[in-house]
């Protein structure tokens, strides 16, 4: 997984339909910015903090890459297990380093679909500096990743 060092931020451009009373008490629908933009932005802030925390846990051996993605995507082992229909105990085992070592490529491809990543994203966690641009192409049902790294256009 390649992550930009620049924290993603909510740009406030997203508008949603809200129902509001006018001065006469009539309710109207309006497409407008949310009152809770700041909270939405804090979702991104929290994600960035979470990424660092989970990466730390993984590098210290307390979490496997499957465990990393499980927590980073805010899912429970039970929820993940339901989707590709594998036993929950197996997911819990694969979330630890010991269990992770025994996960097959086929199993990783199933997890990759649930987490919406590529199989390669279980094996590398890279950081991109500003000014670098990456283009990723996925082949063979998320098993193969082709990466182009280049200087970002000014």
Partner 1 sequence: MKSIGSYEHRVASHCETGSMRNLLVHDGLAITEPMVFGLGSGPAFYYLFFSRSHTGFPLVGIRNRPGSIIKNVAGLLGVDMFGKRLGSPAEAMREADRLIDEGRPVIACVDMFYMKYLPQFLQVHAPFHFIILVGHDETSYAVSDPYFDCPGVLRRSDLEVAWDTHAKMSQDNFLAYARRVPREVDWRRAVIAGMKRTIKGMLPPRPVRRLLKFVGVEGMRMYARKSLEWPRRYDGHWLREGILWNAVAFEDQGTGGAAFRLMYGAFLQEASAILGSSEIEGLATKMVEHGQAWRYCSRRLIQIGKQVPMRDRDFPAWIEENRARLDEGLREFHDLFMERAAFEERFWSDLEAAVGRLGKGHGSRR
Q: Is the dihedral of CA 29, 33, 37, 40 positive or negative?
A: positive
Taking every pair of Cα atoms in the chain, the longest distance, rounded to a whole number of angstroms, is 66
- Residue 154 beta carbon to partner 1: minimum distance, rounded to whole angstroms: 25
Residues near partner 1, by CB under 8 A: 8, 10, 14-21, 25-29, 31, 34-36, 39-40, 42-46, 49-50, 53, 73-76, 79, 82-85, 113, 116
The CA distance from 48 to 52, in Å, is 7
Q: Which is nearer to partner 1, 5 or 102 (CB)?
A: 5
Q: Which is nearer to partner 1, 50 or 133 (CB)?
A: 50
- Residue 44 beta carbon to partner 1: minimum distance, rounded to whole angstroms: 7
User: Is residue 119 a contact partner of residue 106, using CB atoms and an 8 Å limit?
Assistant: no
The CA distance from 9 to 142, in Å, is 28
- Residue 86 beta carbon to partner 1: minimum distance, rounded to whole angstroms: 11
């Amino acid at each position: 997984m390649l992550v930009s060092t620049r924290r993603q931020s909510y740009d406030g451009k997203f508008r949603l339909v809200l129902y509001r009373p006018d001065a006469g008490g009539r309710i109207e629908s309006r497409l407008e910015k949310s009152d809770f933009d700041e909270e939405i932005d804090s979702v991104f802030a929290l994600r960035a903090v979470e990424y660092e925390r989970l990466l730390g846990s993984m590098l210290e051996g307390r979490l496997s890459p499957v465990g990393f993605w499980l927590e980073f995507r805010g899912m429970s082992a039970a929820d993940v297990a339901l989707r590709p229909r594998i036993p929950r105990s197996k997911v819990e085992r694969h979330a630890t380093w010991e269990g992770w070592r025994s996960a097959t490529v086929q199993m990783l491809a199933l997890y990759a679909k649930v987490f919406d990543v590529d199989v390669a994203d279980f094996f590398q966690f890279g950081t991109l500096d500003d000014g670098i641009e990456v283009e990723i192409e996925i082949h063979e049902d998320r098993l193969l990743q082709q990466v182009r790294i280049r200087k970002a256009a000014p």
